[in-house]
Structure 1
Amino acid sequence: YQMGGRLAGNIDWRVSYIVTPRFTDNTDGTVTDNLTGLIWLKNANCIADNTGFDNSGTPNDGMVTWQQALDFVRGLNAALYDCKDGSNGGSAQTDWRMPNYNELLSVFDPSENDPALPTDHPFSNVQAERYWSSSTGVGVNEKDAFVVDPGSGNGTGNPKSMFLYLWPVRGGKSLP
């Protein structure tokens, strides 16, 4: 198993959905994935709530380039941006990051559509367009990063200069 709960090579998607409940709303602006231990922001488009950060493309839609997504995460960790994360007693967490490709894939349930999330998921503002991952690699141009489409739960590579969404994550645990 890889982080994110899928078999190596993404052969069996169903392994990600064997934990009940899959997600726990922590009632502090975060959601815990009970399979992977990853902690996600409940608001899957919190950049849009931070007026002034997203000033490219269509202002305040939350869509940013890959580099802007990395910059937002740095600012989130430095308490420059507010994503309504109350999980640290009102102080900003400092370990938010862009999820890697497997982590981002693991959130989605490909048996569902628009969004490809389990029907009882607690997330808000999940967008219909693709989300950035931190992963670049073999088979993808160095100017590309892997992304995941929440409508289908499938992934692909896209140029880092495109405007897409970011869904910050932190934590996690190794799976057997």
Structure 2
Amino acid sequence: MKYNLLKIGGLSVLLLFANCKNTTNTEKDTKPNANIQFVLSDTGQDKFYDNDGNQIETPNFDDDYYGQDAQFKGIVSSYKDNGDGTITDLNTGLMWQKTPDYKKHNFYDAFDYVDELEIGGYTDWRLPTIKELYSLLNSNGELFPEDLSKSKPYLDTDYFDFEYDKRMPYAGQYWSSTKYVKGPIQNIKIEGAFGFNFADGHIKAYETGLYYNGESGVRNPGNYVRAVRGKENVYGVNDFVDNNDGTITDKATGLMWQKIDDGNAYNWVDALKYAKNSSLGNYNDWRLPNTKELQSIVDYNKKTFPAIDENYFKCTNPDSWFWTSTTQGDFKYTACYIAFGKAYSKDNSKVKDYFDWHGAGAQRSDPKAGKIEDYLMESVNAADSIRIKNYVRLVRNL
């Protein structure tokens, strides 16, 4: 992820688009349900923000900003330091490498690295999937590139070790094992694999070192690795049921979803309003999903757009970005979205053509309100597309 310069009026601001625990008025169960196979821990976002990124008091139901991430408390993250260089996630059952080697690995070399790894007497380490890696997200992160002492990564540093790259503090990306299978990324048609950036809170597809046709020669900066061990094909595997009333239940997570979006794109506040006023399926407790919840239904293995299981869900526009309830930590005037269609960006602000730069299934962020022209970017770095009005896929707890 690279930074862009944002101009609003005469003010210039360093811009980075992307990601984001919950506290609540109406608290949900804070312990995992024994029947749930795929435990989604809370994002950790515990404060409320308005369209300008200002922190506000807890909104009441009739307030404009009611329904954002911090309104609803989910399953609290729970970790155990095993004292042998490993950390166990007590919610998911996955065991993690506490301290990475802080070296950047080529995507394919990363598999060799974890194959040879021994920590805590264990030798069955592997690269996590992107859903497993994103399970570690703590959305209270915030990056201050000019003063790293004030920065907090999107990770629980009471348990996991993390170091910023002092030369490029925003470059905190870690590999997942999940390749991008829907096509090439960027404008030079290269192969991508997903990673999560614990420095700036984004998911995107990064260069593997190969072109999409398998040829070598692509510049390959590499990413860090945080290895995982545990049973594969459990965390991140959905178990959908069509309720035949416009709703879909995921028995794996204990969440109910809106089957078909309503076809309208909203700014963030209007999306929150739409959710709280919905009576879909005769339920009145719908809400916008947080980032972990929405990312849980991305289909990363599907080779066509949109990146969702169309046996159960429908996107009225296959080129769809869907809002989450989560404010992006670095730029709190933006909220996170998941791109189920192509995640557009371009080389820099001076060129006109956008490409599928980050890959469907990426998590980015968009301004909560305003007009696109209010966010004029002047940058030599990649510049994400801005929409401001995005789609909604409602969720509720069973």
The verdict on how the C-alpha distance between 1:17 and 1:71 changes in structure 2, with shifts beyond 3 A counting, is: farther
2:82 paired with 1:26: yes
Deviation at 1:110, TM superposition (A): 1.9
Match of 1:146 among 165, 185, 194: 194
Does the 8 Å contact 1:100/1:135 carry over to 2?
yes
2:161 paired with 1:117: no
Alignment coverage as a number of residue pairs: 143
Does the 8 Å contact 1:2/1:102 carry over to 2?
no
Does the 8 Å contact 1:97/1:170 carry over to 2?
yes
Q: Which runs of 5+ in 1 are unaligned?
A: 49-61, 80-84
The C-alpha deviation readout for 1:131-168, integer Å capped at 9, x for no partner, is: 00000134453721001010233200011123110110
Structure with the higher fraction of residues in helix conformation: 1
The verdict on how the C-alpha distance between 1:17 and 1:99 changes in structure 2, with shifts beyond 3 A counting, is: farther
Match of 1:95 among 106, 114, 124: 124
Does the 8 Å contact 1:115/1:151 carry over to 2?
yes
The verdict on how the C-alpha distance between 1:106 and 1:153 changes in structure 2, with shifts beyond 3 A counting, is: farther
The verdict on how the C-alpha distance between 1:28 and 1:18 changes in structure 2, with shifts beyond 3 A counting, is: same
Match of 1:66 among 70, 95, 107: 107
Does the 8 Å contact 2:134/2:196 carry over to 1?
yes
Does the 8 Å contact 1:24/1:32 carry over to 2?
yes
Indicate the residue corresponding to 1:106 in structure 2.
135
2:210 paired with 1:156: no
Whole-Å Cα distance in 2 between the matches of residues 98 and 159 of structure 1? 16
The verdict on how the C-alpha distance between 1:27 and 1:164 changes in structure 2, with shifts beyond 3 A counting, is: same
Identity %: 31
Does the 8 Å contact 1:4/1:104 carry over to 2?
no
Structure 2 length as normaliser, TM-score? 0.32
Task: Name the aligned partner's letter for residue 113 of structure 2.
Answer: F
Whole-Å Cα distance in 1 between the matches of residues 137 and 183 of structure 2? 22
Does the 8 Å contact 1:23/1:122 carry over to 2?
yes
Deviation at 1:19, TM superposition (A): 2.9
Structure 1 residue runs of 4 or more that deviate by more than 4 Å after TM superposition: 1-4, 12-17, 172-176
Does the 8 Å contact 1:130/1:147 carry over to 2?
yes
Does the 8 Å contact 2:41/2:91 carry over to 1?
no
The verdict on how the C-alpha distance between 1:122 and 1:154 changes in structure 2, with shifts beyond 3 A counting, is: same
Structure 1 length as normaliser, TM-score? 0.67
SS of residue in 2 equivalent to 1:73? helix
Task: Name the aligned partner's letter for residue 230 of structure 2.
Answer: G
Indicate the residue corresponding to 1:52 in structure 2.
none
Indicate the residue corresponding to 1:168 in structure 2.
227
Whole-Å Cα distance in 2 between the matches of residues 143 and 42 of structure 1? 29
Structure with the higher fraction of residues in strand conformation: 2
Whole-Å Cα distance in 2 between the matches of residues 158 and 118 of structure 1? 24
Whole-Å Cα distance in 2 between the matches of residues 25 and 6 of structure 1? 18
Whole-Å Cα distance in 1 between the matches of residues 177 and 39 of structure 2? 14
Does the 8 Å contact 1:132/1:165 carry over to 2?
yes
Whole-Å Cα distance in 2 between the matches of residues 13 and 138 of structure 1? 31
Greater relative CO (CA pairs within 8 A, separation 6+):
1
Task: Name the aligned partner's letter for residue 116 of structure 1.
Answer: Y
Task: Name the aligned partner's letter for residue 156 of structure 2.
Answer: P
Indicate the residue corresponding to 2:361 in structure 1.
none
Bigger Rg over Cα = 2
RMSD of the alignment, in Å? 3.1
Deviation at 1:16, TM superposition (A): 9.9
Deviation at 1:94, TM superposition (A): 2.6
The verdict on how the C-alpha distance between 1:154 and 1:143 changes in structure 2, with shifts beyond 3 A counting, is: same
The verdict on how the C-alpha distance between 1:124 and 1:140 changes in structure 2, with shifts beyond 3 A counting, is: farther
Whole-Å Cα distance in 2 between the matches of residues 19 and 35 of structure 1? 9
Task: Name the aligned partner's letter for residue 18 of structure 1.
Answer: I
Q: Which runs of 5+ in 2 are unaligned?
A: 1-35, 43-67, 143-151, 165-170, 185-189, 210-219, 236-251, 254-398
The C-alpha deviation readout for 1:90-109, integer Å capped at 9, x for no partner, is: xxx23100000001111011
